[in-house]
């Protein structure tokens, strides 16, 4: 019975997300869909509240990912019983055997999503189903256990409700939620782990650009790559992140903020730092083309990426009106090479470039260092471009609940 | 003064290993060689012995990497003070904040080496300087702190001396030593960590093939890659390992033991599972050519790989005589494609193939599943081939101290 329900859930889940992650939702992303083991069960939740709640940090002191709330959610898994008792308990250290595989072989995956609280105290999450689906894909790719995403999401909601006083209500503020899964098998051999731990911690965060949008300069990176065909670039796994720190340091030494990750002999643009990438070209007839690289296995299927594409497509189809965007708009998921970017800058047809991700939402780009030269990318006075600004405004309004949206999932209402 | 000594040490260390890791020892592998921070210091070691020593496991129950000794070595680092007090203390769990970067971003590197104890009680390590040099390269690549490799090695020797009764004296047995470094910064942002932990655990191990050599069947893998130009394949970092588990599971489902990692449109052979790869071809005139892929940035600079090349070259040069190897031998570090392997099998010129690594030492290959067909690789009755067997025998004799060698470093003598 449990297994039948699980399979049904799997099918629904897959159908729901198929259109959003077409390149990565394959035939078998729920590896244990026929498993007789226990899945995550909301009903088994145990809550142990802290007796020493922390003082809430002053908003102006918030630094991204430096403050954590009073509690965390932990759910253990092992290969003989499946998912164990979920527990919300005081935020505190994990005690792990030094042989745990996460320390040796990078058996770790994560997600990042935000909870918003409006002035009336309503708490919402933004498209959390996508994070659940993507985390299952990541788990499957690393041979970590998959899980019932809906049940895990229900538990995350419990944690967010308990911590809702931690969510700042001010503009641009939110609670950053970080689900993580690690392999905890206590042997040095490399295999699918026989035990794992899923946990969630929360961090109140302020606006990524507290003083208004600040365009960033990128280093067009050719000596290091972020991803490659047959690799893991499409998954949100720890292993995609550690190798990027050194190249970022090198870029910073040369005066650039982030890496523009290029790929292949044609120097195809892939991602920027840890964000997805968008480029806007003006075509001969004045049409604006919003371009982002396709989900070809090297690109992370970002929730912000998908949301931007979806809003832009609705505008282009006439079902949504983005203010001040009067030019005709077409949307392309296609490859873009550095040659195309350089040519478009030269001929004045490059309109804007920006990164997109959960942390910064939209991050405008004003310069690319490439093969010893600096290429200036247009930015408007207010720090964004003609396409990114209306999309960003609409997206933020949906995220915060200011504009009604199916994407906004209510967690709590007073 | 400390800094001058440190720089001197760095230069010596680099000079010593330059010939061994030519492709990866670059200009700046000691990132903090001018650092004013404390380096690892043997003289600061604190030893806290366990009051409840474990019972030594029965040799026949040993499973690779499942048993750990009574103590571990831990050395903390932070960005304001550098390396702190080294401590040998009872083996036990690490307590880490759930925001520690190792859990999120795979900030982890490791090494693997073995200690041997002969019948007279003499304890030796095999070429541990290479592990120290390689670990520093890995640390630098991940923006983790580098360290004085000689001082760290001295501390490892202290641990091995304390645990020497754990080292089985039987043939093919040893103590597997696992140094690990993890990033422990407690924030969700991605950057070079402001704190890290270096630790060493030890595991007594038996022969990899207790019942004699067992040749393995490989799946010639084209849908997943292990490494890529501009990637991290040349470094011993956790991020290279987690992504390989799922492809290995897939290979196992089809009846293969490990992945033969292929690369590029020509399907160049790179590595096998987590081992380096060797192929032996018979040339027209009867000369045997021992081939391994070059250290081009995609290949791990294995200590066993280097040792095999070195012994083979000495034999070819006439300075070492490997018994029963009477054919003329040439050694090549060059690319090998699947086409070359298939053609050589067809024409009877493929003599043998084997993997090489610290755990198994030499692992013969008898079959490759490639593009829907099975290619039979020759193996001799005793499970190895005419080149691998004498090299393996000589290598093992040097590792165990049966044959005198500069590579064997004495840790303890009764």
Give pLDDT tens digits for B348-374: 999 999 999 998 899 999 999 999 999
Whether residue B12 is predicted with pLDDT greater than 60 in this model: the reply is: no
Q: How far is B263 from chain A (nearest CA, A)?
A: 10
What mean pLDDT do residues B251-261 have?
96
Please state the ipTM of this predicted complex: 0.93
**CB atoms A105 and B231 under 8 Å:** no
Please name the residues in contact with B5: beta carbons below 8 A apart, sequence gap of 6 or more: none
Task: Identify the three-state secondary structure at position B28.
Answer: coil
Which pLDDT value is given to residue B210? 76
Residues of A in Cβ contact (< 8 Å) with B76: none
Q: What is the mean pLDDT of chain A?
A: 91
Provide the pLDDT for residue B381: 83
Dump pLDDT digits (tens) for A122-160.
999 999 999 999 999 999 999 999 999 999 999 999 999
Q: How far is A12 from chain B (nearest CA, A)?
A: 25
Residue A44, judged by CB atoms within 10 A of its CB (0-12, 13-18, 19+), counts as: middle
Using DSSP bridges, classify how beta strands B108-110 and A108-110 pair: parallel, antiparallel or unpaired: unpaired
Task: Please give the residue of chain B at the shortest CA–CA distance from A145.
Answer: B246
Residues whose CB falls within 8 Å of the CB of residue B174, separated by 6 or more in sequence, listed in order: B114, B115, B116, B167, B168, B204, B205, B399
- Nearest Cα of chain B lies from the Cα of A356 at a distance, in angstroms, of 16
Q: Which residue of A has its CA nearest to B208?
A: A189
Cα gap A136→A130, rounded to integer Å: 10
Q: Give the percent of chain A with pLDDT over 90.
A: 86
Read off the tokens for A38: 């226990």
Least confident piece of the model among A92-106, A201-215, A262-276, B104-118 = A201-215
pLDDT at position B213 is 79
Nearest Cα neighbor of B127 from B278, B251, B16 is: B16
Q: Report how many Cβ contacts below 8 Å link chain A to chain B.
A: 206
Q: Nearest-CA neighbor of A311 among A391, A222, A224?
A: A391
Q: What is the pLDDT of residue B414?
A: 87
pLDDT tier at A34 (50, 70, 90 boundaries)? Answer: low
CB contact under 8 A, A106 and B66: no
Do the Cβ atoms of B94 and A91 come within 8 Å?
Answer: no
> What's the whole-number mean pLDDT along residues A32-57?
89
| Neighboring chain B residues of A225 at a CB cutoff of 8 Å | 228-231
Percent of chain A that is helix, strand, coil (3-state, to 5): 25, 30, 45
Q: Residues with Cβ < 8 Å from A131, sequence gap 6 or more? A: A111, A112, A113, A179, A303
CA distances from A364 to A43, A206, A245, A330 (A): 44, 18, 21, 20
Listed by number, the residues of chain A in 126-145 with a beta carbon closer than 8 Å to a beta carbon of chain B are: 140-143
Residue B68 — φ and ψ, nearest 5°? -125, 150
Tens digits of residue pLDDT in A216-235? 999 999 999 999 999 999 99
Residues B260, B263, B265, CA angle at the centre, nearest 5°?
130
pLDDT of residue B35: 66
Contact B188 A180 (CB under 8 A): no
- Taking the Cβ of residue A252 and every Cβ of chain B, the question of whether any pair is shorter than 8 Å is answered with no
Mutation target for B interface from A65, A68, A75, A103: give the one with most B CBs within 10 A: A103
The answer on pLDDT for A162 being more than 60 is yes
* Cα of A388 vs its chain's centroid, Å: 18
Instruction: Give the lowest-confidence range in A21-30, A241-250, B172-181, B383-392.
Output: A21-30
Nearest by CB to A239, which of B106, B110, B141? B106
Give the CA angle between residues B62, B63, B68 to the nearest 5°.
Answer: 75
How far apart CA A313 and CA A319 sit, in angstroms, is 9
Burial class (CB within 10 angstroms; exposed 0-12, middle 13-18, buried 19+) of A169: middle
The structural domains of chain A, ordered by start, are 2-207 (3.30.470.10), 216-400 (3.20.10.10)
- As a whole number, mean pLDDT of residues A6-13 equals 42
pLDDT of B4 > 50? The answer is no
Considering only B165-169, B212-216, B253-257, B400-404, which range has the smallest mean pLDDT? Answer: B212-216
Decide: pTM greater than 0.90.
yes
Query: Is the model's pLDDT at A211 over the cut of 90?
Result: no
User: Does B301 have pLDDT greater than 90?
Assistant: yes
Q: For residues A133, A135, A136 and A141, what is the CA-based torsion angle, rounded to 10 degrees?
A: 130
d(CA A376, CA A344): 11
Tokens of A296: 């070809």
The answer to whether the CB of A278 falls within 8 A of the CB of A354 is yes
Q: What is the DSSP letter of B301?
A: -
Question: Long-range pairs for A4-7 at CB < 8 Å and ≥24 separation?
Answer: A6/A33, A6/A35, A6/A39, A6/A148, A7/A33, A7/A34
Q: Chain B residues with CB inside 8 Å of A71's CB?
A: none
Task: Give the Cβ contact number of residue A56 at 10 Å.
Answer: 13
Chain A contact set for B355 (CB, 8 A): none
Residue B166 confidence (pLDDT): 98
Residue B362 token pair: 């030499």
Q: Beta-carbon neighbour count of residue B380 at 10 Å? A: 15
**What pLDDT is attached to residue B18?**
44
Subunit contact A190:B228, Cβ cutoff 8 A: no
Q: What is the pLDDT of residue B119?
A: 94
What average pLDDT does this structure show over B69-96?
98
For range B22-35, the mean pLDDT: 41
What is the average pLDDT across A196-222? 92
Per-residue model confidence (pLDDT) at position A35 = 66
B positions 191-210 inside 8 Å of A (CB): 191-192, 199, 201, 203
Closest chain A residue to the Cα of B200, Cα to Cα = A98
The reported pLDDT for the residue numbered A288 is: 98
């Amino acid at each position: 019975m449990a297994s039948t329900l699980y399979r049904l859930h799997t099918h629904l889940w897959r159908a729901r997300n198929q259109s959003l992650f077409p390149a990565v939702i394959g035939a078998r992303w729920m590896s244990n869909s026929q498993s007789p083991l226990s899945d995550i069960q909301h009903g088994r939740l145990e809550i142990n509240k802290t007796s020493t709640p922390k003082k809430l940090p002053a908003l102006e002191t918030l630094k991204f990912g430096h403050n954590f709330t009073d509690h965390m959610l932990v759910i253990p898994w092992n290969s003989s019983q499946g998912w164990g008792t979920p527990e919300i308990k005081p935020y505190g250290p994990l005690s792990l055997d030094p042989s745990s595989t996460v320390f040796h072989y990078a058996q770790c995956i994560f997600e990042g999503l935000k909870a918003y609280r409006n002035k009336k105290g309503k708490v919402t999450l933004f498209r959390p189903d996508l994070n659940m689906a993507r985390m299952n894909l990541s788990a499957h790719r690393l041979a970590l256990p998959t899980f019932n995403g809906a049940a895990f999401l229900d538990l995350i909601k419990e944690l967010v409700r308990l911590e809702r006083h931690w969510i700042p209500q001010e503009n641009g503020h939110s609670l950053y939620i970080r689900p993580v899964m690690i392999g905890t098998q206590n042997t040095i051999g490399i295999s699918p782990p026989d035990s794992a731990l899923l946990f969630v911690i929360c961090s109140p965060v302020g606006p990524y650009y507290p003083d208004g949008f600040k365009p960033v300069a990128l280093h067009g990176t050719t000596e290091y790559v972020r991803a490659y065909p047959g690799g893991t670039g499409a998954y949100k796994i720890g292993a995609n992140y550690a190798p990027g720190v050194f190249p970022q340091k090198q870029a910073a030494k040369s005066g650039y903020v982030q890496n523009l990750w290029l790929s292949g002999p044609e120097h195809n643009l892939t991602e920027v730092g840890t964000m997805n990438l968008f480029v806007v070209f003006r075509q001969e007839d004045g049409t604006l083309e919003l371009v982002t690289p396709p989900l070809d296995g090297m690109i992370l299927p970002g929730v912000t990426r998908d949301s931007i594409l979806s809003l832009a497509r609705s505008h282009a189809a006439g079902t949504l009106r983005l203010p001040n965007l009067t030019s005709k708009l077409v949307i392309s998921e296609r490859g873009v090479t550095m040659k195309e970017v350089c040519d478009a800058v030269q001929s004045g047809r490059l309109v804007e470039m920006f990164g997109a991700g959960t942390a910064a939402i939209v991050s405008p780009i004003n310069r690319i260092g490439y093969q010893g030269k600096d290429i200036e990318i247009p930015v408007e006075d207010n720090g964004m471009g003609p396409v990114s600004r209306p999309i960003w405004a609409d997206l933020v309004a949906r995220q915060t609940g200011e504009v009604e949206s199916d994407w906004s999932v209510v967690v709590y209402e007073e």
